[in-house]
Structure 1
C-alpha cells in the first residue's frame, strides 16, 4: 500500500512515517522544506516538495496513492486573521479530499484536534459525543480545524468508497519535534530553578502512541467516525514535575494566579486590535486555566491505542532535543 502523508515535517507526521516504514508501507511525504526532515533516507520513502494549498502540488501523485494521511495544518497561535487559518485548515483540506475522491483513493485519514470536541473534568471526561466548548469555541485554530472536519464529513456521507476517518489527538510529546511545537513546554522547564505554571491542565499523549493509532486506523477505522487520541490527564504542575524529574533537576513551583493570566490576555487582545502579531490573547490564556481532559476509551477499543507512560514521551523529547 502506498501512503501520502502531508505536513511530513511535523511532530506527528514524522512519527507516522517512521511507523509506516517499520510496517513496510511505501510512503510519499509532502512537505515544504526537505532539509528540515528529521528521518534518515529510506528505500520506501520519497519526499515531495509542495504546498498543501495548491492542488497542483499533489494532484499528479494521487492516481498511485491508496491512502492519504492529512496531517498538514497551520497551528501557530500568533495569527489574528481567521481567513489565514481557514485557507489551510479548512479550504485546503476540503480540496485535498475532493481530489482524493476524483482519483478513487481508498482511505483518507484526517488529523484534527481533540479540542473540536468538548473537554471535561477527571470525573466527567470529554469524548467524541460532546460538542466543542468555550474557550475553544473562540479559538481561531480550533474553529478552523472544526470547519475542516465538518466539510469532510458532509462530503464523505455521499462517498462511502473513500473511507474517511478523523483522528483527534491531544497534546503530543516525543521525538522529532523539529520546530519545536509542543516540545516548547518541555524546553520551558530546562535549567529553571523556579517554574511558574498556570492553574489548569491538559490531556497528554506519547506521540508514538498517537502515530501507531493513526496507522492502525487505515485498517481498523470506520467510515465517518472520529477518535480522540489521548493518554494521561495531568495538571500543568504534575507535568512539570515529571519533566524536572527526567532532567534530574530540583525546581520550585509557583502557580500563576488566574487574574494575572487574564490581565496578560487582555493586553494581548489590545495588541491584536492594533494588528500586532502575538500568541498572547484572552482566549489562549483561558485555555491555560481549565482542566482540558479527555477519554481515550473509543480509540483504545477500536484502534488498539496503546497508552505508554507520558514519562517515556518526555524522556524521548529530552533526548532528542539534546542530540539535535
Structure 2
C-alpha cells in the first residue's frame, strides 16, 4: 500500500487521482475533513464520478507534527509520498513552518525508517535550492545560497536535510524540486491566484521570473522515479523558465482578457514591502510582500532540467495546454 501525506493539497490530490486510477491501494492523511471536498472537486475535473475514486482511498486524520498521531498511517505501508507542507512567505509564520515542514518531515523520515519503508519520495521545491546566480541556470548541484531566500525556502531546505539524513541511515529516497506548479482546483492559493489576478484584467505585472511546471508533469515524474531504481538523488522539475510578464500574458490571453503591459518599477516594490511590513505590525495582518520576495524579483530565476530528462528519458508536456485547461476550469 502507498501512503500520501498532504493528500488534500494541489499536488497530493492530483497524485491520489493518478494512483487510484492506476489501481493502486492508497492511504492518505488530512488535517480537516472539510478539505476532502476539495479533493473531490479536483477529481471531478477528470471524472464524472469522483466519489467512486474518493471511496477507494483510506483516509486518516493526522497532524504530521505529531509523531504519535502519524504512527497509525504507517500500518501496512510500503511506499510513501511526502507532500504535506505549510506554504507561507510571512516571517511571522516561521515557527509554524519549522514545526510542519522541518519537524513534520523528520517525523515522516523516522517512521519510514522504523517501518522499513521501501522508498520515500519527498516533494520539495525550487525554493529549497536557494537563490540562483544572475544569468546562470540553477542545477541540482548548485551550492546552497540563502541570500534573499524566503522563510518557506529556508524550511524546505532544512526539511530536505532530514530526508538526506534518513538516506544515510538506510532509507531509499528520491527528492523532486518543482517550480511553480500550474494545476486546477486551488484558486485562492499558489498558482491559482495567478488566474484570479489575470481574470481581473490587471494592467501591471511584477518584474523577474521563475520556473513553471504543470501538475501532470510533477505527478508523472514522481511516480516514474518511485518505480525506478534511482535513489539518493534530487531532480528539478520545470517545463519553462518564464518572466512573470510572459506567464500573466499567457493566462490573460487564455482567459480572453487584456494582458498586463506595464511593469511595476522596483522603487515602488521597495516602498510596498515596507508599507506592508508597517501594516502587519500595526494591524497584525498577514504579510503579502516581504523584503526577500522583492529582492528575488530583481532578476529571473533560470532552472536546468537536463538531469531528469537523462535519468528516466523524461519529456515535459505542453505548458500552454495546461494553462488553457486551468482557464477552462477557472471560468466554469
TM-score under structure 1 normalisation? Answer: 0.91
Tell me which residue corresponds to 1:169: 178
Contact 2:131/2:146 (<8 A) preserved? no
Structure 1 distance, partners of 2:278, 2:132, is 30
User: Comparing both chains, which one has the higher relative contact order based on Cα–Cα distances under 8 Å and sequence gaps of 6 or more?
Assistant: 1
Equivalence map 1:50-129=2 (5 Å): 50-118=62-130, 120=132, 124-129=136-141
Conserved 8 A contact 1:213-1:304: no
Q: Which has the higher helix share?
A: 2
CA contact (8 A) 1:80 1:272 kept: no
Question: What is the CA–CA distance in structure 1 between the aligned matches of 2:314 and 2:86, rounded to whole Å?
Answer: 26
Gaps of 5+ in 1: none
Paired residue secondary structure (2:261): strand
Q: 1:118 to 1:181 in 2, by over 3 A?
A: closer
In the alignment of these two chains, the number of paired residues is: 318
The alpha carbon displacement at 1:148 in A equals 0.8
**2:162 match:** 151
Cα RMSD after superposing both structures: 2.1
Q: Secondary structure of 2:155's match?
A: helix
2:329 and 2:246 map into 1 onto residues whose CA distance is: 22
Aligned equivalent of 2:20: 21
- After superposition, residues 90-239 of structure 1 pair within 5 angstroms as 90-118=102-130, 120=132, 124-137=136-149, 139-159=150-170, 162-177=171-186, 179-192=188-201, 194-220=202-228, 222-239=230-247
What SS is found at the alignment partner of 1:306?
Answer: coil
The alignment's TM-score, normalised by the length of structure 2, stands at 0.89
1:246 and 2:245 correspond: no
Partners of 1:136 and 1:143 within 8 A in 2: no
